Structure 1
Amino acid sequence: MEERGDPVTHLSEQACWDHLAQQELGRLVTRVGDVLDIFPVNFVVDAETIVFRTAEGSKLTELTINDEVLFEADDHTERDAWSVVVRGTAHRLETGAEIEAADALPLKPWIPTLKFNYVRIKAHALSGRAFSRDEEPDRGGVQPY
């Protein structure tokens, strides 16, 4: 029987940012009281922060009530996969200079809707994993603990 290496690799902080920079779609998790919500958002990485655009609505309201968020992005091929989770705080960009800088980013809505609000997530912690995809190992025999 062929020995396989560990199919899970923990990513360094820089590797997490590198993977995030290659992706355009992620999921924002908000919490207000006991209610958790998750929203798909398209985004860009800017100076080790995450920036996305949004319209007025529940996402922006929830971020105003509680700025602590989780953000997750991932991707896969037939051979490998990765996932990065960001724990951080989100704030709406409000000054003219902030908005002007965000307007210069390569960030356009995926759907034809007007989204005038920019939000920046500042990471407090990142965790990421890369996965090698392969056939399931033999299920017979003694399982390691």
Structure 2
Amino acid sequence: MTTTPVTDLSSTDAREMLERHELGRLAFHLGDEVHITPVNYAVDRYGRVVLRTAEGSKLLGMTMDADVAFEIDEVDGFRARSVVIRGRAHVLRGAEAEEADLLPRRPWLEGMREVVVAITVDEMTGRSFTLRPPTSV
């Protein structure tokens, strides 16, 4: 029996994987450069990826160009999965920011990350990969 090396995840499976994790990678433009950085996140009741950040290059980049990408992945034995999101980032204020504060999150670093950002999902894709056994170099 052979297995397909790459299969698409259903939208339900991709969403469940996104909700199961807490660390992802945010890709954004800053001027002519593309940056990628790890971020802690949660998924809100609207299906948006919500994160906190401080003033700096990440916030500046998302303010100058709201188009972002977000990625998570996992490896379990001989299966690997990834979910990629393309969407638009925007700062949450008022009641929306207060509601986002109630989402569970576990930051890597303590500090003043007072700006709450939500990524509205325009496109979400997920894939599952069959990994080969390790080989010697």
Give ranges in structure 1 of 5+ residues lacking alignment.
137-145
Aligned residue pairs total 133
The answer to whether the 8 A contact 1:52-1:119 is kept is yes
**Hey, what's the Cα distance between the residues in 2 that align with 1:5 and 1:130?**
11
- 2:49 aligned with 1:74: no
**Hey, what's the Cα distance between the residues in 2 that align with 1:5 and 1:134?**
11
Q: How does 1:1-145 map to 2 (within 5 A)?
A: 3-47=1-45, 48-94=47-93, 96-135=94-133
**Hey, what's the Cα distance between the residues in 2 that align with 1:90 and 1:82?**
24
**Hey, what's the Cα distance between the residues in 2 that align with 1:32 and 1:12?**
32
Please report the RMSD computed on the Cα atoms of aligned residues, expressed in angstroms: 1.4
TM-score by length of 1: 0.85
**Hey, what's the Cα distance between the residues in 2 that align with 1:8 and 1:100?**
40
Aligned-residue offset at 1:9: 1.4
The CA deviation string for residues 8-62 of structure 1, in whole angstroms up to 9 with x for no partner, is 1101222111111111111000013421011110111113110011111100011
- Amino acid aligned to 2:107: P
Q: Which has the larger radius of gyration?
A: 1
**Hey, what's the Cα distance between the residues in 2 that align with 1:108 and 1:80?**
26
Identical pairs, percent: 43
Give ranges in structure 2 of 5+ residues lacking alignment.
none
Aligned-residue offset at 1:78: 1.8
**Hey, what's the Cα distance between the residues in 1 that align with 2:37 and 2:132?**
30
Specify the alignment match of 1:141 in structure 2: none
**Hey, what's the Cα distance between the residues in 1 that align with 2:55 and 2:9?**
35
